Amino acid sequence: MSIAELKKEVKKKIDKADERVLRMVNALLLADQEIDWYDELPNEAKTSIKQGLDDLKNERVISHKTATKRYKKWLTT
């Protein structure tokens, strides 16, 4: 199916759609236009995220259980 045919088919379906479907399509189109939140982050935050992902990939992490034991004296409930 060509893009022109697809547009024609989508337009037909939109003309017949109920309010629920129209709202979903509208939300989808609006979401497609939004700027990715990651692109709006400061460079320091992006660097920190990349470092965390690299740490995870290279197994430089500890479990929550281990961290809780290690820092128990500073954790209060």
Count of the separate structural domains present in the chain: 2
The verdict on 11 and 28 lying in the same domain is yes
The verdict on 55 and 68 lying in the same domain is yes
The verdict on 48 and 70 lying in the same domain is yes
Tokens of 76: 């209060």
The verdict on 42 and 68 lying in the same domain is yes
pLDDT at 77: 62
The verdict on 63 and 48 lying in the same domain is yes
The verdict on 44 and 26 lying in the same domain is no
Domain that residue 16 falls in: 3-33
The verdict on 20 and 45 lying in the same domain is no
13-71 pLDDT, tens digit per residue, is 999 999 999 999 999 988 887 788 888 899 999 999 999 999 999 999 999 999 988 99
The structure's pTM equals 0.47
In sequence order, the 6+-apart residues with CB closer than 8 A to the CB of 14 are 22, 25
